[in-house]
Structure 1
Amino acid sequence: MGFGSVAAATLLFFITRLFISAFSKPFRKHLPPGPRGWPVIGALPLLGDMPHVQLAKLAKKYGPFMHLKLGTCNVVVASSPDVARAFLKTLDTNFSNRPIHAGPTHLAYDAQDLVFAEYGPKWRLLRKLSDLHMLGRRALDDWSHVRVVELGHMSREICRLSGRGEPVALPDMLSHAMVNMMGQVILSKRVFPDKGSESNEFKDMVVELMTTAGYFNIGDFIPSIAWMDLQGIERGMKRLHKKFDVLLTKMIEEHTESAHKRQAKPDFLDTLLIASRESSGSLSMINVKALLLNLFTAGTDTSSSAIEWALAEMINKPSILKRSHEEMDRVIGRDRRLEESDIPKLPYLQAIAKEAFRKHPSTPLNLPRVSNKACEVNGYYIPKNTRLMVNIWAIGRDPSVWENPLEFIPERFLSPDKQKMEARGNDFELIPFGSGRRICAGVRMGIVMVEYILGTLVHSFDWKLPDGVVKLNMDETFGLALQKSVPLSAMATPRLSPAAYVA
């Protein structure tokens, strides 16, 4: 065979390989649109300190179904109800797992918790136990008296501050009340009987965890350099994890020693420890610790954040506060505190909560998911191991979905077309807790807590800005939960009869 024949055969071989490659890897031509990014780092620099905001801006250019290369990772971003529905409902099974990165590895006991565990028997067991004994509808009803008692403590503390002319630091107040609620259900006791340095330190730990877990860690997207920990994020996670582990270990040890006192009426931790002993290894002590971490952090911080945002919006817009007071005075009066059974009769209060969920979703980018296998969505090819982000924040501020989306207008949820809309994962215009099988396990609890605690704060008190403050700062700080950059501090004035605050 002559040189020309060899050259021709070689050329034919490479042309054939290119031809086959082009058709066997259609994602090269049919990935969703998105920014090209840079070599190695991809589009990471485009995200900045407020990824939910930057991704919303990019979606205006590239559309609500967008692909980015973040380091070596394929990422798709859903920024509209229809695209979110395509992933979280139609392809829910394929996107049933979460990517494992530094956060769940170093903070959540190597993803042995309910939030990040692999979808399968272990996850289903954790979810079942949580629903049966804490988060399900019947369980929530069973510990409704705990919420009543704890809000009584909170209301009296606010009255005390009001009598002294001192402002109420809402995040500290909410954190203290909610951790004690969780403590009574999980441990049969208030975790922090007195509000002070210990409870404030715990709140700071929770906020740090939720903020740190939301960071875009370069090592998560470029695994080859993860060992360098360029941003120092993993060092901070390990340090914080040790503090939580000491606290959780102490809780479990003390609880085990006093278990004989609760044989007739075991609490949630008793139930978990019994299940751990009887599960033949399918539920480890690490799983128990990891689940407790979920409940004491995500279970408190996300709800308290939503309440803080809602009350801040109402203080900035007194007409909303006034209308809510009028509704509550008409339905409840001023001789007793609000009860959970009153809430269905308070459509404006429910509308305020929904509007807070819309404009200030606790998890702005939801929690990421990852594709188990390659698939096609809206004509685009999505490779295996592609990470999914749903920009809930962008959906809530999309002018094609919501009229005047930047304004806080609870009345929008009283209109006939939106009155029946719920934040439970079925209406994709409003999915603050996500949707599908990996929807937040505490969705019922979150809605109950926000409506009841917010309703109590509004019904029991009038709220005003501290002297010298013209308008509240409404800037955001990005994290796993969306925090107010400047924590809410406001003056409260009791508006019920004195006897209402006693019980």
Structure 2
Amino acid sequence: MMMSIHWLWASLALAALGYFLQDLFLMKKRRGLPPGPKGLPVIGSLHLLGKNPHQDLAKLAKKHGPIMYMRFGYVPAIIVSSPEAAEKFLKTYDQVFAGRPYHEASWYIAYEQRNLTFGQYGPYWRNMRKLCILQLLSSHKINSFWPMRRQEVGTLVKSLKQAASDGAAVDLSALISSLGANMSCLMIFGQKYMDKDFDNRGFGEVIQEALHVGSTPNIGDYFPLLGVLDLQGLTRRFKALAKVFHDFFDKIIDDHLECKEQKQTKDFVDIMMEIIQSGTSAFEFDRRHVKAVLFDMLVASMGTSVTAVEWAILELLRHPAAMRKLQKELEEKVGLERIVEESDLEGLEYLDMVVKESMRLHPVGPLMLPHESIQDCTVDDFHIQKKSRIIINIYAIGRDPNVWPDPEAFIPERFKDSDIDLRGQDFRLIPFGSGRRICPGLQLGLTVVRFVLAQLVHCFSWELADNIQPTDLDMSEAFGLVNSRAKHLKVVPIYRLHK
């Protein structure tokens, strides 16, 4: 035991010495890099990040500029904080910065980063993305699931209508989360699963933990020599989470293989298993790849859309005039005799403005998943070295005063007669990213967010529980790969429709 402790301290001392010498070497290479805050020996700029890194980085960018150099441990990082700079990294030099860094959480949970979100850029990733877009996320496939979305949202409305009749307060955050889990399971797995079928903690809690630990600064990602020691205990948590997901996905796949029933609408697992069994894939595609993609689908569909809906509802509650304006549009376009249908969405202009404004202020991924440069590059006369981590601060871009007048205010009307879109072509508003790494589920996500939000606003008026005033709503964030609200939203629904 004593010998093991001595070896531990010896290893730490050698690692510290190695990092110190590397520090001296890096200082000599500093010329030509973008401006940025001066880091400390060994840890670099990690000490400058608090519980909300996107806000800390936005403040630093105001001082050092929209293209800023920082070092996290021994990982060089470029922080991008303006639309013009984002366009250069995500469009002009898109292919150079299309890589993904090593990410220990995804390495364990997503089968050595075989998923789309953290998969390494190359032929496999391009083929996998193409397959997912054509087979799983095409407009035709998304539209085929609209009866299911209608039924699940209708079930939620029925539950809230009963609460309204009873004058009862509800945990809207939990209800929206449950709705997201049900819709995700039906689209991906073909049926709903109870929380206990997944894990004792349930879908929501486990996925929130995965998003949290996945965004936690990990010594192993920034100090590779120290990663094996697991000083934070994160590796143990990654392995435990991986077992939960992998056991569940194995059960799902086995159930699909045993099922002989002919389905009218095939779910995502059906489609991927058919590809494996047909042997027609032009690249390696086996059970590991299926589970890695299922992980992406489940986490993305459950985590992002429901979070976006909650932020939008929160802003509408804080701004009653905007809520009334959206309800008036819904009354005029839909009427009070029926619920909203997905076919109504395209004609709801103010709804579109509300969604854009909410995503501007509260992007669900405030720091885009990090890109990595696959070769040396020069951007605006700055030298960007190979293996640099590129962090696009969507939060800062959405609050850039050079682009957005009164950037901290919730003003949906700013998008009236505006050509600003959020599908990745206009770098003033990129909540789904842009370029090669843009979110492939953009269309599905937008459909779910707009449909659920429209339904909640059209069918109900809302009063805050516990005598809380709209101006007193707590808007604090729980930072993660998906940036959710720190506290659950409790409200009293008031039914508005005539039926």
Shorter-chain TM-score above 0.5: yes
Report the AA paired with residue 219 of structure 1: G
Q: Is the 8 A contact 1:463 1:493 kept in 2?
A: yes
| Distance in 2 (alpha carbons) for counterparts of 1:497 and 1:264 | 34
| Distance in 2 (alpha carbons) for counterparts of 1:241 and 1:198 | 12
Structure 1 partner of 2:90: 88
Q: Residues 211-242 of structure 1, C-alpha deviation per residue, up to 9 Å, x if partnerless?
A: 21111112211111112222222222221221
Number of aligned residue pairs:
469
| Distance in 2 (alpha carbons) for counterparts of 1:457 and 1:195 | 28
Larger Rg: 1
User: In the alignment, is residue 349 of structure 1 matched against residue 363 of structure 2?
Assistant: no
1:382 positional shift: 0.5
Which consecutive unaligned segments of at least 5 residues does structure 1 have? 1-24, 499-503
User: In the alignment, is residue 269 of structure 1 matched against residue 305 of structure 2?
Assistant: no
Spell out the pairing of 1:19-418 with structure 2 (5 A cutoff). Answer: 28-192=30-194, 201-258=202-259, 260-262=260-262, 266-277=266-277, 278=279, 279=281, 282-414=284-416, 416=417
1:123 positional shift: 1.8
Structure 2 partner of 1:473: 474
| Distance in 1 (alpha carbons) for counterparts of 2:179 and 2:199 | 13
Q: Residues 461-494 of structure 1, C-alpha deviation per residue, up to 9 Å, x if partnerless?
A: 1111113222221001110010101122211111
Q: Residues 53-83 of structure 1, C-alpha deviation per residue, up to 9 Å, x if partnerless?
A: 1111110110111001111111001000000
SS of structure 1 residue aligned to 2:50: coil
Task: Check 1:280–1:318 CA distance in 2 against 1; reply closer, same or farther (3 A cut).
Answer: closer
| Distance in 2 (alpha carbons) for counterparts of 1:199 and 1:270 | 27
1:197 positional shift: 11
Q: Mean alpha-carbon deviation: is it higher for 273-282 or for 367-376? A: 273-282
Q: Is the 8 A contact 1:372 1:385 kept in 2?
A: yes
Task: Check 1:374–1:196 CA distance in 2 against 1; reply closer, same or farther (3 A cut).
Answer: closer
1:196 positional shift: 12
| Distance in 2 (alpha carbons) for counterparts of 1:263 and 1:197 | 24
| Distance in 1 (alpha carbons) for counterparts of 2:265 and 2:325 | 43
1:436 positional shift: 0.2
Q: Mean alpha-carbon deviation: is it higher for 198-207 or for 243-252? A: 198-207
Q: Is the 8 A contact 1:134 1:185 kept in 2?
A: no
Report the AA paired with residue 421 of structure 1: I
| Distance in 1 (alpha carbons) for counterparts of 2:487 and 2:182 | 24
Q: Is the 8 A contact 2:42 2:73 kept in 1?
A: yes
| Distance in 2 (alpha carbons) for counterparts of 1:337 and 1:302 | 24
1:130 positional shift: 2.1
Q: Mean alpha-carbon deviation: is it higher for 172-181 or for 352-361? A: 172-181
Report the AA paired with residue 402 of structure 2: S
Q: Residues 309-338 of structure 1, C-alpha deviation per residue, up to 9 Å, x if partnerless?
A: 110111111111111111111111101111
Q: Mean alpha-carbon deviation: is it higher for 317-326 or for 127-136? A: 127-136
| Distance in 1 (alpha carbons) for counterparts of 2:282 and 2:83 | 43
Structure 1 partner of 2:492: 491
Q: Is the 8 A contact 1:366 1:391 kept in 2?
A: yes
Q: Residues 370-391 of structure 1, C-alpha deviation per residue, up to 9 Å, x if partnerless?
A: 0010000001010100010000
Report the AA paired with residue 300 of structure 1: M
Structure 2 partner of 1:6: none
Q: Is the 8 A contact 1:276 1:282 kept in 2?
A: no
User: In the alignment, is residue 427 of structure 1 matched against residue 429 of structure 2?
Assistant: no
Report the AA paired with residue 269 of structure 1: V
1:156 positional shift: 0.9
Report the AA paired with residue 262 of structure 1: Q
| Distance in 1 (alpha carbons) for counterparts of 2:30 and 2:222 | 20
Q: Residues 429-451 of structure 1, C-alpha deviation per residue, up to 9 Å, x if partnerless?
A: 10001100111111111111111
RMSD over equivalenced CA pairs, Å? 2.0
Q: Is the 8 A contact 1:176 1:199 kept in 2?
A: no
Q: Is the 8 A contact 2:144 2:265 kept in 1?
A: no
Q: Is the 8 A contact 2:174 2:488 kept in 1?
A: no
| Distance in 2 (alpha carbons) for counterparts of 1:223 and 1:160 | 55
TM-score for both structures, normalised by structure 1: 0.89
Q: Is the 8 A contact 1:67 1:75 kept in 2?
A: yes
1:280 positional shift: 7.9
Structure 2 partner of 1:14: none
Q: Is the 8 A contact 1:210 1:298 kept in 2?
A: no
1:187 positional shift: 2.4
Report the AA paired with residue 211 of structure 1: H
1:344 positional shift: 1.9
Q: Is the 8 A contact 2:477 2:483 kept in 1?
A: yes
| Distance in 2 (alpha carbons) for counterparts of 1:447 and 1:377 | 32
SS of structure 2 residue aligned to 1:441: coil
| Distance in 2 (alpha carbons) for counterparts of 1:239 and 1:198 | 12
| Distance in 2 (alpha carbons) for counterparts of 1:358 and 1:281 | 38
SS of structure 2 residue aligned to 1:262: coil
Structure 1 partner of 2:448: 449
Q: Mean alpha-carbon deviation: is it higher for 75-84 or for 215-224? A: 215-224
Task: Check 1:438–1:26 CA distance in 2 against 1; reply closer, same or farther (3 A cut).
Answer: farther
Structure 1 partner of 2:15: none
SS of structure 1 residue aligned to 2:116: coil
| Distance in 2 (alpha carbons) for counterparts of 1:99 and 1:334 | 51
Report the AA paired with residue 165 of structure 2: G
1:270 positional shift: 1.3
1:103 positional shift: 2.0
Structure 2 partner of 1:464: 463
Structure 2 partner of 1:3: none
| Distance in 1 (alpha carbons) for counterparts of 2:118 and 2:368 | 13
1:165 positional shift: 2.6
Report the AA paired with residue 404 of structure 1: D
Report the AA paired with residue 273 of structure 2: L
| Distance in 2 (alpha carbons) for counterparts of 1:207 and 1:441 | 21
Q: Is the 8 A contact 2:460 2:493 kept in 1?
A: yes
Give identity over the alignment, percent: 39
Q: Is the 8 A contact 2:188 2:267 kept in 1?
A: yes
| Distance in 2 (alpha carbons) for counterparts of 1:102 and 1:484 | 26
Report the AA paired with residue 274 of structure 1: E
Task: Check 1:266–1:485 CA distance in 2 against 1; reply closer, same or farther (3 A cut).
Answer: closer
Q: Is the 8 A contact 2:199 2:244 kept in 1?
A: no
Report the AA paired with residue 473 of structure 1: D
1:342 positional shift: 1.3
| Distance in 1 (alpha carbons) for counterparts of 2:257 and 2:301 | 23
Report the AA paired with residue 459 of structure 2: S
SS of structure 1 residue aligned to 2:191: coil
Q: Is the 8 A contact 2:425 2:434 kept in 1?
A: yes
| Distance in 1 (alpha carbons) for counterparts of 2:382 and 2:48 | 23
Q: Is the 8 A contact 1:27 1:380 kept in 2?
A: no
| Distance in 1 (alpha carbons) for counterparts of 2:86 and 2:322 | 31
Structure 2 partner of 1:7: none
